[in-house]
Amino acid sequence: MKRRLLLLTGSLILSLVSCSSPTWYSVEVMTNIVPIASSNEKVTPFNTVMKLNYCLSKDNNNDSFKEELSSYYIDEVVKYHKLFDRHYSYYDEDGKTLVINPKTINDSYGSSTPIQCSKELYNLLKQGVNLTLKTNGYFNFFAGELVSYWDNLISTVNNFENEHGSYTNIQDYFNDYEPYYNEDARKKVEYLRLTTPSLEEVKNLLTFNDETLEVTFNTLEDKVLENGTILERSSATSLYRPSITTGGIGKGLATDYIKQDLISKNYTQGWLSSGSSSLTTLSDPTFGNGNKQKITLTIPENKYPYFLTYGLSIASSKDYSISTSGNHDSGHSYTLYGDNNNVLSRRHHIINPYTGYPSEDFSTVLLFSHSFTGVELDAFSTAFVNMSLKEGLEFRTELLKDTSKDLEIVFVSNLDENNNYHYYATSNFEGSLEILQDYFKEIKL
């Protein structure tokens, strides 16, 4: 049966609009500025657009201030990218000393060698373990091999014209490599799922020395299946070994640190965005005339032809952080369609460790909080996307047992057969929640 593939090139976008008209200055850190060690290649920090929007006053609306702010922010983004990236090695500012980062930790697997970490990397690793346990594994810091499998497949599909090798059409490639069509590919995904560390294994996978800031990546035993198949996890070169993935929390923690650093320099009148999925304010967002600021959520339609829809908006006048996750990512996703344009499966960057596949339940989940940190919200948003609505609401209740915390969520379904989205919001956001399309239907529980 003939299948049709739709490449989704847009992404979920958060746009923040002030209710006043101040003078805004934007600094964007975009493509290919960070050199890889011992290579002529350069990469994009966090593989996305990192952005600072700053509200200028009469006193600082000048070139000198703008240049100082831009330079400081860009240096911060590059610094934390080098510290938190799992894919490449980088040199420090001296151009000679290698930065210790998650790639260093992954490369040490199987050696029993303690690795000396910076305090920021040490914190990232501890947060990764703690948030895996806190989310009951729906965010899994050690699912790196499973995540890499899907990253590689999606990248090949998105760049098929350039990377197809001997294949003349995408369907032939799918028949050999897409798990929807290929039994061997399904088996591989299942093995990767089975060898992803369990919560019990996660507890002891890293050994931390709080005095020396050393971390040891401990070795797991091989996995033996009921049929006698041995899945090797003890070897550093095995496909089924555990490896750290920072995709769910790296940007969030980097943004937390950058926020702290900017505030320490008295840069407080603005907000930070990490790609199109996270926002955090540097102070109460009452710049200009002191009114609330409006945040609009746009969602890529899961139908053909493809376009963005402005779905809903909220507003706040108090310092906040937002994180969103969903089943689309700019330039890094695809959807399999049947003959009648029915959705067969969506492939994207949020992988459910318990199924081995990209999540399917929600188009978008938006988290809003005045008290949880960016790194916490990033891990939580990943976890909520991988849960059912019932599980998500139960998890939120568990998180809010700490009465010092607040967390509001909007769950948005995939497009249904009648071209409607269905949403459930845990709050009306102090009366500011506004539904912008009549095909957004509220879920009544």
Q: Which DSSP string corresponds to 395-442? A: HHHHHTTSTT---EEEEEEPP-TTS-EEEEES--TTTT-EE--TTEEE
| Cis geometry, peptide bond prior to residue 285 (ω within 30 degrees of 0) | no
pTM higher than the cut 0.85:
yes
- 435 and 298 share one domain: yes
* Among the listed residues 437, 430, 436, the one whose alpha carbon sits nearest the alpha carbon of residue 292: 430
Report yes or no on 240 lying in a domain: no
Contact call for residues 98 and 216 (beta carbons, < 8 A): no
* Among the listed residues 40, 47, 121, 42, the one whose alpha carbon sits nearest the alpha carbon of residue 80: 121
- 322 and 252 share one domain: no
CA dist., res. 346 & res. 36, Å (int): 32
Contact call for residues 388 and 424 (beta carbons, < 8 A): no
- 330 and 266 share one domain: no
Angle of CA points 94, 100, 102, to nearest 5°: 140
Report yes or no on 239 lying in a domain: no
Q: Which domain holds residue 114?
A: 102-231
Residue 236's pLDDT is: 94
Q: What is the CATH number of the domain that holds 212?
A: 1.10.3980.10
- Backbone phi, then psi, for 78, in 5-degree steps? -65, -45
- 8 and 131 share one domain: no
Report yes or no on 238 lying in a domain: no
Contact call for residues 141 and 206 (beta carbons, < 8 A): no
Contact call for residues 365 and 412 (beta carbons, < 8 A): yes
CA distances from 125 to 88, 101, 208, 214 (A): 17, 10, 9, 11
Which helix (H) or strand (E) segment holds residue 337: the answer is strand 334-337
Which residue is associated with the tokens 């967002």? 285
- 134 and 222 share one domain: yes
Residue 57's pLDDT is: 87
- Backbone phi, then psi, for 128, in 5-degree steps? -60, -45
Report yes or no on 213 lying in a domain: yes
- 397 and 312 share one domain: yes
- 364 and 390 share one domain: yes
Residue 414's pLDDT is: 84
Contact call for residues 412 and 363 (beta carbons, < 8 A): yes
CA dist., res. 379 & res. 371, Å (int): 15
- 180 and 207 share one domain: yes
| Cis geometry, peptide bond prior to residue 305 (ω within 30 degrees of 0) | yes
- 302 and 186 share one domain: no
Residue 219's pLDDT is: 97
Report yes or no on 281 lying in a domain: no
Report yes or no on 175 lying in a domain: yes
Q: Which amino acid is it at 369?
A: S
For 229, half-sphere exposure in the C-beta direction (CA atoms, 13 angstrom radius) is: 10
pLDDT in tens, 119-166: 999 999 999 999 999 999 999 999 999 999 999 999 999 888 766 667
- 150 and 270 share one domain: no
Residue 18's pLDDT is: 47
Q: What is the pLDDT along the chain (445 residues), one digit of tens a residue?
A: 333 333 322 233 434 444 356 788 999 997 889 999 989 899 999 988 999 999 998 889 999 999 999 999 999 999 999 999 999 999 998 889 999 999 999 999 999 999 999 999 999 999 999 999 999 999 999 999 999 999 999 999 988 876 666 788 889 999 999 999 999 999 999 999 999 999 999 999 999 999 999 999 999 999 999 999 999 999 999 999 999 999 889 999 999 999 999 999 999 999 999 887 888 999 987 765 555 667 777 665 544 444 556 778 888 888 999 998 887 655 678 888 888 878 888 899 899 999 999 998 898 899 999 999 999 999 999 999 999 999 999 999 999 999 999 999 999 988 788 888 899 999 988 888 888 888 888 888 7
Report yes or no on 92 lying in a domain: no
Residue 361's pLDDT is: 86
Number of folded domains that form the chain: 3
Tokens of 285: 């967002």
24 three-class SS: strand
- 315 and 327 share one domain: yes
Angle of CA points 63, 68, 71, to nearest 5°: 120
Residue 342's pLDDT is: 81
Report yes or no on 282 lying in a domain: no
- 198 and 153 share one domain: yes
Rg (CA), the chain: 22
